[in-house]
């Protein structure tokens, strides 16, 4: 269920974070009431490439109501940015840890699964390369994401039916948009298991076209079943993202400025271990790289500035 959804959403955020991580931080927005965010999306395309070895079976998620897990996700990110041919000062970003509590609230007779997730803790790990005041400022900003929660309904193949995210709007605009992107990415990036029976060595491809920061992207994730024992499936995966030239709306861009994406390419791979009767992966890891080129046209100024960015991310997740 959320296991493949999680990976699809992380791949989605590789692009979003790669575009926004170096944006200028705007002023704090006023706190308002929590808003329910939901969006309708096109169905992902699932193509079975290889059925795998015998014996084969239909993989389905079958958790019990009230099944709970606490997962700890660690993100390590790195960026390289140049503007108008000049390399920007590099910031050594410390790892970020996110604690996620998940509970299955209901399982319908037709197999549909209702579950809720929330960020119970978000922290920035210590770093000797950053001044203490900078580290504390980062930690303070990230802590504002604590309490963000989501409610989801998916079928027993992992195909999302509905997704709603409750996002507190007291955080600054960058984090607010990042949290909202988490919501829309979960809604847009479900990655179902194949309909067909499969065995060890099976491969399938899931193609989606999410909208990230109002940017149209084509994403392809290829999965391979490498082990299935005691109701635990282990998958290898490879993903690619591509975006055609288009206008962008990004946080931190001055009023009147026009931003145009010229190119975007992302690639990554990872491994996922999932227990089919539990709400979250037992183990997960992912390495991803993304590069993009944008042009920025300032209002009232002739010419444009070209921004080139490279983004690297390593993710590890453990659940108990």
Rounded Cα distance, 205 and 203, in Å: 7
Q: What contacts 175, CB < 8 A, 6 or more positions away?
A: 141, 142, 144, 145
Q: In sequence order, what are the beta bridge partners of 295?
A: 260, 306
User: Nearest 5 degrees, angle CA 248-CA 246-CA 175?
Assistant: 25
Task: Supply 312's token pair.
Answer: 């690297």
CA-to-CA separations, 319 to 52, 101, 272, 278, in angstroms, rounded: 28, 10, 12, 10
Query: What was the pLDDT predicted at 102?
Result: 94
Residue 141, token pair as written in the block: 């900003």
Q: What pLDDT, on the 0 to 100 scale, is given for residue 210?
A: 79
End-to-end CA separation in angstroms for the chain: 17
> Taking the CB of residue 163, how many other CB atoms lie within 10 A of it?
23
Instruction: Give the span between the Cα atoms of 16 and 288, in whole angstroms.
Output: 13
Q: Is the dihedral of CA 255, 260, 263, 269 positive or negative?
A: positive
Q: What's residue 185's pLDDT?
A: 54
Over the chain (320 residues), the average pLDDT of each successive run of 10 is 50 51 32 35 85 97 94 91 85 88 96 93 87 88 84 90 71 58 56 94 93 82 97 95 89 80 95 89 93 88 88 92
pLDDT at 40: 40
Token reading at 175: 């984090």
Three-state SS at 9: helix
| Nearest one of 240, 203, 194, 234 to 221, comparing CA atoms | 240
């Amino acid at each position: 269920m959320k296991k493949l959804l999680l990976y699809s959403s992380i791949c989605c955020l590789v692009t979003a974070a790669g575009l926004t991580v170096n944006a200028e931080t705007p002023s704090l927005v006023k706190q308002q009431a929590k808003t329910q965010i939901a969006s309708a999306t096109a169905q992902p395309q699932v193509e079975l490439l290889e059925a795998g070895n015998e014996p084969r079976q239909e993989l389905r998620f079958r958790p019990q109501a009230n099944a709970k897990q606490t997962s700890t996700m660690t993100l390590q990110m790195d960026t390289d940015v140049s503007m108008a041919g000049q390399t920007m000062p590099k910031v050594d970003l410390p790892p970020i840890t996110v604690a996620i509590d998940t509970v299955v609230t209901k399982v319908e007779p037709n197999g549909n699964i209702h579950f809720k997730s929330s960020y119970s803790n978000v922290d920035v790990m210590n770093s000797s390369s950053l001044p203490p005041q900078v580290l504390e400022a980062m930690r303070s900003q990230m802590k504002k994401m604590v309490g963000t929660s989501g409610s989801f309904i998916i079928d027993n193949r992992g195909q999302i039916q509905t997704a709603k995210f409750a996002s507190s709007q007291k955080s600054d605009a960058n984090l607010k948009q990042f949290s909202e992107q988490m919501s829309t990415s979960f809604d847009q990036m479900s990655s179902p298991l194949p309909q067909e029976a499969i065995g060890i060595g099976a491969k399938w491809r899931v193609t989606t076209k999410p909208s990230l920061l109002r940017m149209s992207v084509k994403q392809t994730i290829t999965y391979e079943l490498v082990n299935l024992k005691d109701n635990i499936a282990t998958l290898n995966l490879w993903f690619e993202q591509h975006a055609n030239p288009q206008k962008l709306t990004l946080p931190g861009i001055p009023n009147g400025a026009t931003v145009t994406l010229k190119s975007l390419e992302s690639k990554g791979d990872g491994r996922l271990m999932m227990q089919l009767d539990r709400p979250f992966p037992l183990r997960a890891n992912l390495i991803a790289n993304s590069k993009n080129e944008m042009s920025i046209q300032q209002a009232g100024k002739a010419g444009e500035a070209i921004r080139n960015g490279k983004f690297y991310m390593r993710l590890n997740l453990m659940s108990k």
